[in-house]
Amino acid sequence: MRKNLHASFIFATALAAVALAGNAQAQSSPARTSAPSSPAQGSSAAASCSLAAAPGVAEQQLTSGGRPRTYRLFVPPRYDGRTPLPLVLDLHGSGGTSAGQASNSRFEALAAREGVLVATLQAESSRWNVPVSDGRPDDVAYVSDVIDHVAARVCTDAARVYATGFSGGARMSSLLACRLSDRIAAIAPMAGLRWPDGCGARPVPVLTLHGLADPQNTYDGHAEGRGAEWVESVPDALAAWARHNGCDANVVLEDPPGPLSTMRYEGCDGGAEVRLIRIDGLGHAWVREQVDATAVMWEFFRKHTL
């Protein structure tokens, strides 16, 4: 088992080693109110989808909750205007930007090879409304509106929409799995998994990565001098997701030689796996050296659909 796990890490790292170009600049679209939500179309929608779009990166504008919002949209070179493609929602950390997160995660480079759409979102004042507080933007509605906005411009497979994020973006992607479980097929937060209240009934596949030396979003939680948001530990959040997904009660720990170990739960409803990759010595960062987080996330995502 350990040998297989170690081999999978090596394979995932090699998978994303090739740097790819193709991020040609495209013109921004005009501001508009988001289109209404539509039923999941799935891959069967290929025959009816006909949406031309230039490959590369374009800054997009929309209105959500009466507020002007933006996001960064990447369309891969192989886009043909007819075949619905999977969509990855990528969320920056607190104080960050969509451009910074695109550089941080490098999801667009992977997406160029794999034929994936990437929407890198932008929080108002660079901070996501999580935990949710009144008077701030409804970021759950904003994400839902972005999904619609992308689908109105590019052929999107609504059964293969995924969310990831770093730090504050990880906490936000955790919230999305709860509040948009009918739209988000799986999540893979980096350095900030949480178990929010008010989750929908659907089991949601969860993969998370976290550094054991993270001083910001501490692995063990209970950070002194910080609010209730920082009490929950990563293993506690993982266990809560396992209960929600109907997994077996006992966690399986795999700790082969080296900096990587995993905690996972088996027997989850609907195959909604729950897994944590822990990285010894890693601080508050998107991991690339010990394991290629982006490649591992994509391998996880591609196994799950609505």
pLDDT at 12: 40
What does 97-157 look like in DSSP terms, one character per residue? -HHHHHHHH-HHHHHHHHT-EEEEE--GGG----S--TTS--HHHHHHHHHHHHHTTS-EE
d(CA 243, CA 90): 26
Q: What is the pTM of this model?
A: 0.84
pLDDT at 204 over 70: yes
Give the separation between CA 238 and CA 243, rounded to whole angstroms: 9
Domains and CATH numbers, the chain: 2-11+28-34+53-301 (3.40.50.1820)
Distance CA 46, CA 27 (A): 25
3-state helix, strand, coil in the chain (%, to 5): 30, 25, 50
- At residue 176, φ and ψ (nearest 5 deg) are -60, -40
pLDDT digits (tens, 9 = 90+) for 3-21: 443 444 433 443 333 333 3
> 257 pLDDT exceeds 60?
yes
For 69-114, write each residue's pLDDT tens digit: 999 999 999 999 999 999 999 999 999 999 999 999 999 999 999 9
Instruction: Please identify which residue in the block is written with the tokens 């996880």.
Output: 300
CA distance 270 to 219: 28
Least confident of 216-225, 230-239, 272-281: 216-225
Can you tell me which residue has the tokens 């506690």?
A: 236
User: How does residue 126 score in pLDDT terms, banded at 50, 70 and 90?
Assistant: very high
**HEC readout, 155-198:** CEEEEEEEEEEECHHHHHHHHHHHHCCCCCCEEEEECCCCCCCC
pLDDT, one tens digit per residue, over 8-64 is 443 344 333 333 333 333 333 333 333 333 333 344 344 469 999 999 999 999 999
- Residue pair 26/143 in contact by the 8 Å Cβ criterion: no
Rounded to whole angstroms, how far apart are CA atoms 43 and 96? 34
The answer on pLDDT for 2 being more than 80 is no
Give the tokens for residue 74.
Answer: 């990447």
Q: Could you give the percent of the chain with pLDDT greater than 90?
A: 80
Asked whether 188 and 197 are in contact (CB, 8 A), the reply is no
- Please tell me the number of Cα atoms within 13 Å of 86 on its side-chain side: 26
